[in-house]
Amino acid sequence: MAEISFPFNKDNDAGGRQAVGQGDWQAMSQLWAGDRVAAKLTSSSYTGAALPFAIKVIGDRTVEISPGEAWVGGFFYRLDAPISFDIGPNFDPAKDRRDTIVLRADIPRGSVNMAVVQGQPSANPIAVQPKRKPGQEWELVIHELKVPRANGRVEPFNRAPFDLPAPVAFPWNAGDSANFVPVGTFVYDLDSDGRHGQQELFRGRDGLVPSMTLGKSFTYTPQLINAASDPKGLVCRGRWRWIAPNLAWFSVDFRNDSSAAIRAKQDALSFQLPVPLNGSTGQSFAGYLLNIEERSGLPNMAALTGMAWAGQRGQTVRILSQSANSLMDGLDYLLVFPPRASIVFSGVFEANQFNE
């Protein structure tokens, strides 16, 4: 029979089968979930002793593992009482060893059991990789052990993978609704009412933060700050999106379609970002001036630099350009925006969603 499907109420001549063997079960159940400890990390902080399969060293060479549950190679495992292992000695006078404690699904035998896998002493010891052979042996590493040279005291490290809370979606107002989901949850705002935007958020230890814009970029009207005048011909356009937690991309395009230059009233001409900056460090951005008619004593095209100094947590970025006097003079504040010219900036910046 070329076509096989299962499980059904009874066998049939179309390839449907009622019975499911261990191999079939493993192939099927691995689609539901990968190897992991059967517990979700839903707290902002843990101690090692509070986790399932917590480990402690008794004396120098014995380790004790606390109860826990896990999913290994498509099979469920439960340890309902502490279990201990004596770790083999390492008499090598100069080389450490790395061992692992694994949960081993032995398919031919038909059970999952905990075991110690011993490595080899080495100047740069590497633990043995877990076996992953469908229908034979499949291992999940839950602890790694440093076994020091000269039979020193064993040092354990937790290597068990855990599950996250399942991601959830809200039709709208996900930011407010996410206050009621567990820590560690990814939240999706589907913007079903079309009033905001589609985005992914993450509720973690530091709070709730947008992590990615999923649909079209947001648009905004960036202000040209410190301008002495605001001619009717000034066109301001901006686009932005979240690209990672607390990290945003933006692009602004200012076009002076009027016949008058726009001059700074004080300080430098500056532009507005869509959300406040993180001011823990300074941030800078690249831009250009397109001045085809070479007005206001500026070249037809010039590189611009946007600068936000450390300590600045607002949305303002000052615009600087190469000094008109000499290269040795470096950058000066941009004090004039020529008529019939454009200024463009784009970049990535760290925002201040955590109110640092």
User: Do 37-158 and 218-350 show the same overall fold?
Assistant: yes
Lowest mean pLDDT among 30-34, 288-292, 300-304, 309-313: 30-34
pLDDT tens by residue, 120-150: 999 999 999 999 999 999 999 999 999 999 9
Q: Which range has the top average pLDDT, 39-43, 80-84, 195-199, 225-229?
A: 80-84
Contact 142, 160 (CB under 8 A): yes
Contact 240, 251 (CB under 8 A): yes
Please give the average per-residue pLDDT across 61-71, as a whole number: 96
| pLDDT above 70: percentage of residues in the chain | 100
What residue ranges do the domains of the chain occupy? Answer: 37-158, 168-213, 218-350
What residues pair up with 168 in beta bridges, in sequence order? 187
Q: What pLDDT does 30 receive? A: 81
Strands (E), 223-315: 224-225, 234-244, 247-256, 262-263, 270-272, 283-290, 301-308
Contact 244, 212 (CB under 8 A): yes
Q: How many Cβ atoms are within 10 Å of 31's Cβ, its own excluded?
A: 8
Mean pLDDT (the chain) is 93
* Nearest residue to 195 (alpha-carbon basis) of 215, 178, 221: 215
Q: What pLDDT does 171 receive? A: 96
The pTM (predicted TM-score) of the whole model is: 0.83
pLDDT tens by residue, 223-233: 999 999 887 88
Pairwise CA distance, residues 8 & 12, whole Å:
9
In single-letter form, the type of residue at position 274 comes to P
Please give the average per-residue pLDDT across 115-124, as a whole number: 97
* Residue 227, token pair as written in the block: 């301008």
User: Any idea which residue has 């099979």 for tokens?
Assistant: 75
Q: What pLDDT does 1 receive? A: 54
Q: Is the pLDDT of residue 17 over 70?
A: yes
Please give the C-alpha separations between residue 231 and each of 47, 221, 227, 298, 319, in angstroms, as whole numbers: 61, 15, 10, 20, 19
Please give the average per-residue pLDDT across 319-328, as a whole number: 85
pLDDT tens by residue, 312-323: 889 999 999 998
Between residues 3 and 239, the one the model is more confident about: 239
Q: Is the pLDDT of residue 189 over 60?
A: yes
Q: Is the peptide bond before 7 cis (omega within 30 degrees of 0)?
A: yes
Please give the average per-residue pLDDT across 268-297, as a whole number: 95
CATH number of 37-158: 2.60.40
pLDDT tens by residue, 253-275: 999 999 999 999 988 999 999 99
* Nearest residue to 84 (alpha-carbon basis) of 57, 111, 60, 105: 57
Q: Is the pLDDT of residue 331 over 80?
A: yes
* Nearest residue to 255 (alpha-carbon basis) of 154, 194, 344: 344
Q: What pLDDT does 31 receive? A: 82
Q: Is CATH 3.30.160 the right assignment for the domain spanning 218-350?
A: no
* Residue 256, token pair as written in the block: 């002076």
Q: Is the pLDDT of residue 200 over 90?
A: yes
